[in-house]
């Protein structure tokens, strides 16, 4: 069997000769391809996000340091809060966090945070950073500033390659 192959801009044209027959010469097909008429490459296959094994929002227990699940927190200066997400990981995990406040926040002490940007209206912050993976958990914490608003915050977290998680904690005045 004789196999002749002509290649032109990613297109392969093959012609086979039956066994025992002499070659018939070059193929009559044109191997020139107009790049404008070439088919577009197939889109990359859509990859499903990896599953999140667990997710929680809360505040650290002052005695144990462990994050305790809480959806309602006091709007008190110094109150720590944040999220924990459990995934299959063994090293640092890249995350993107978008935090939307109900009104302008007090960002006076966050000007030096690497990877964090604050919107002009001071209602939204975006942080892109890496967090350590400790026993499969990745976390990020914030601290309430003096003039941060009360109300519901919307915090969306994207861990590299994993399903997006959204938290909606409510910060209330201590008298509520």
pTM surpassing 0.75? no
Nearest one of 68, 81, 52, 60 to 165, comparing CA atoms: 52
Query: How high is the pLDDT of residue 15?
Result: 34
Query: How high is the pLDDT of residue 112?
Result: 74
Token pair of 152 as six digits: 């519901």
Q: Where are the alpha helices (H) located in 91-169, listed in sequence order?
A: none
Cα dihedral 126, 172, 104, 146, rounded to 10, equals: -100
Ordered structural domains, the chain, with CATH: 2-37 (no CATH), 54-172 (2.60.40.1930)
Query: How high is the pLDDT of residue 157?
Result: 98
3-state secondary structure at position 36: helix
Cα dihedral 86, 91, 93, 94, rounded to 10, equals: 180
How do the pLDDT tens digits run along the chain, 176 residues long?
443 333 333 333 333 333 444 444 444 444 444 545 555 555 556 678 888 999 999 999 989 989 999 999 999 999 999 999 999 998 999 999 999 999 999 887 766 778 899 999 999 999 999 999 999 999 999 999 999 999 999 999 999 989 999 999 999 998 75
Query: How high is the pLDDT of residue 26?
Result: 42
């Amino acid at each position: 069997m004789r196999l002749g192959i002509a290649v032109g801009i990613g297109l392969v044209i093959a012609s086979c000769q039956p066994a025992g027959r002499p070659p018939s010469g070059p193929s009559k097909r044109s191997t020139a391809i107009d790049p404008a008429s070439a088919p577009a490459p197939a889109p990359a296959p859509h990859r499903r996000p990896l599953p999140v094994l667990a997710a929680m929002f809360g505040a650290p227990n002052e005695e144990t340091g462990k994050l305790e699940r809480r959806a309602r927190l006091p709007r008190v200066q110094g109150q720590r809060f944040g999220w924990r997400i459990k995934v299959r990981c063994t090293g640092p995990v890249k995350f993107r966090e978008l935090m939307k406040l109900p009104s302008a926040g007090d960002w006076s002490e966050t000007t030096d945070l690497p990877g964090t940007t604050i919107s002009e209206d001071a209602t939204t912050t975006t942080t892109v950073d890496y967090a350590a993976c400790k026993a499969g958990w990745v976390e990020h914490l914030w601290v309430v500033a003096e003039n941060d608003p009360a109300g519901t915050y919307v915090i969306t977290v994207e861990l590299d390659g994993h399903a997006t998680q959204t938290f909606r904690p409510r910060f209330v005045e201590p008298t509520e």
